[in-house]
Amino acid sequence: MSHLLAVDKIKILQNGNVTSPIGFSAGGLHCGIRKKKYDLGWLYSAQPATATGVYTTNLFQAAPLQVTQKSIANGQSLQAIIVNSGIANACTGEQGVTNAYEMRELIAKKLDIAIDDAAVASTGLIGEQLPMEKIRSGIERINPQDNSQANHFETAILTTDTKEKKVAVAFEIDGKVVTIGGAAKGSGMINPNMATMLGFITTDANVSQESLEQALKQHTSQSFNMITVDGDTSTNDMVLVLANGMAENRLLHQCHPEWDIFLEGLYIVCEVLAKEIARDGEGATKLVEVHVEGAVTDEAAQVVAKKIISSNLVKTAIHGSDPNWGRIITAIGYSGQILNPNEVCISLGVIDVVRNGMQVIFGEEAAKAYLSKDTITIHTKVGHGEGEAIAWGCDLSYEYVRINASYRT
């Protein structure tokens, strides 16, 4: 599960964002869905971009996802995405689907692009119909030449998030500078396969659609699908990748000699955005990173890591800076994976707390001090296999309960 094959050739751009790649613009505005905050965002490519996406596994898949999947299926390309926050347009029946199709048609007409080259995304309250008059008015005000500001897009897609999430990287392929940028939202109801999060990744690389699709699926399983905030999987969300080819490199695919560089750049963008979502969990005060090694397979290690990071007892112990390793070993034990309890080792940062299934004498105060930091790493070894995985999450605080007790009201 190594992701460091080409990392020395990749530069993370200072203040990089979803518009860092050539040919992309984005913006956002307030159209009236929410009281004051920006609530309508748009992303545009100067030319049609090869596109692919991954989507929630929740059976109640929201209308925008249905429309976006059809757009990509019809042409395997996108040129624009329209996103609203405040209302999810989920569980809204035929009217909701009609509204999502109208949003697609409106943004396509406004930007003078093919209808099938437009995608739709929504996030917010489930069950309410979109205020289409406000959305129509908002889309009419979009002008990529006049009001293109990436930070407005990053703000417009947020719900209970406390901050924007963005990243961009650059590297050379075929002697051309290639850039990958991204923006995301997500704070609560995060337990992907996918969850309440939206991820938008752009690149000016020239990439085959099949290879782009395989790369996104591979990286999603090791990044966005390895985060959790509260164990709930939402109705709406997705990650989309658009590659417009404007860097003018030779077509990238698995047999290209520099494919690994592109693959690593895409992974870095996915991982950074995933970690930012986990760090910004509703009411969260700490980012928690769980490393699992020694499993029989990578897939088994992923299950163990997700069980640890999803455990409310582990999350509350971390919030209270309580080095209660018993909660961690319990989560490992009910993961359902093949392991020998007598070989399990656990450490909090560099502090060993369990070796071969039994407690190690450790300094309680030192462990509490470590768990008081804003970034916590839990290392676990569950055997002698080659399987390994990393998962990300956050602590579970009193503030999380307060936010979600009044989300609708």
- Positions annotated as catalytic residues are 196
Helix (H) or strand (E) holding 328: helix 325-333
Give CA angle at 253 (168, 53), nearest 5°.
55
Q: How far apart are CA 153 and CA 98, in angstroms?
A: 24
Beta bridge partners of 207: 252
Q: How far apart are CA 96 and CA 73, in angstroms?
A: 20
**Residue reference for tokens 């070894």:** 381
Residues 6+ apart with CB under 8 A from 243: 49, 50, 51, 202, 203, 204, 205, 206, 207, 212
- Identify the DSSP state of 252: B
Q: How far apart are CA 46 and CA 137, in angstroms?
A: 23
Q: How far apart are CA 126 and CA 189, in angstroms?
A: 12
For CA atoms 357, 363, 366, 372, give the dihedral sign: positive
Q: How far apart are CA 132 and CA 373, in angstroms?
A: 45
Q: How far apart are CA 361 and CA 202, in angstroms?
A: 49
CB 327 within 8 A of CB 314: yes
CA Rg value for the chain: 22
Beta bridge partners of 77: 50
Per-residue b or e along 327-346, where b marks 16 or more CB atoms closer than 10 Å to that residue's CB = bbbbbbeebebebeeeebbb
CB 63 within 8 A of CB 92: yes
CB 346 within 8 A of CB 380: yes
Q: How far apart are CA 223 and CA 211, in angstroms?
A: 18
